Amino acid sequence: MSTVALITGAASGIGAAVARRLSAGGVACVLVDRDAEGVERVGKEVGGAWLVGDVSSEETSSRAVALADERYGRLDLVHLNAGTNGGVDMSAFDPERYRTVMGINTDSVVYGVAAALPLLKRSGGGSVVVTSSLAGLVGFGLDPIYSMSKHAVIGLVRALVEPLAGAAVKIGAVCPGFTDTPLIAPARDMLIEAGLPMLTPDEVAAAVDSLFHAETSGTVLVVQSGMEPTPYHHA
């Protein structure tokens, strides 16, 4: 029986790179994204199953896990990756954005873990990776609300190590620096002009894959361009 992975935000960027990497290694993938065209395209490319849905709604996580169960009868790896920086104006410290950003970047992780846990347990355990960010480790003044949401998920990852251990489920967080994806397209020229190095989605996918197989639960892995991934903290 092959390994089965669930990946959110899989229509683009880091999530799509993880889906391609895992499927190339023989993992069956269930992809989730609100971008219907994109998730269908990547789903067909990797020969997996896909679901169109908004991860800030609890129902999307339940439907995604049900799809994994129906299609493959098990679940081993979960990449809770979908995220937003709330729009093109990264400088906005706007309370109206707060619920949207937290819903997508933070609520979705709570819903994702809760929905996946019973099937992971039934499958004999597994591994969950959450995409945080360097902005989850240091204050990112260009987008304080985004930075808060990414700090929050690291707190959740650390706090879940013990409760998940009994179910043989490991959890970790990946913290990429700037990565060349559509998410940061509005800032791309500025970053290049400033000479700031950018990661490729494939580099981040390699780090996610290594986290899935980390021996230690609670690892927070920093990935920066031109550097080997660095474990930031072991719980």
Contact call for residue 81 and ligand NAD (CB under 6 A): yes
Instruction: Give the side-chain half-sphere CA count within 13 A for 113.
Output: 22
Q: Among 4, 6, 7, 11, indicate the residue that binds ligand NAD (CB under 6 A).
A: 11
Q: Could you tell me the smallest distance in angstroms from the CB atom of residue 122 to ligand NAD? A: 25
Distance in angstroms (rounded) separating the CA atoms of residues 32 and 46: 13
Residues between 17 and 46 that touch ligand NAD (CB under 6 A)? 33-35, 38
Distance in angstroms (rounded) separating the CA atoms of residues 230 and 207: 10
Indicate the helix (H) or strand (E) that contains 164. Answer: helix 144-165
Contact call for residue 115 and ligand NAD (CB under 6 A): no
DSSP string, 33-86: ES-HHHHHHHHHHHT-EEEE--TTSHHHHHHHHHHHHHHHS---EEEE-----S
Residues between 92 and 111 that touch ligand NAD (CB under 6 A)? 104
Contact call for residue 147 and ligand NAD (CB under 6 A): no
- Of 77, 79, 197, the residue nearest 131 (C-alpha): 79
**Where does this chain touch ligand NAD (CB under 6 A) — which range of 48-56, 70-78, 158-166, 208-216?**
48-56
Tokens describing residue 105: 């970047």
Contact call for residue 184 and ligand NAD (CB under 6 A): yes
Nearer to ligand NAD, 72 or 178 (CB): 178
Q: Contact positions toward ligand NAD, by CB under 6 A?
A: 9, 11-15, 33-35, 38, 54-56, 81-84, 104, 131, 133, 176, 178-179, 181-184
**Which residues are designated catalytic?**
146
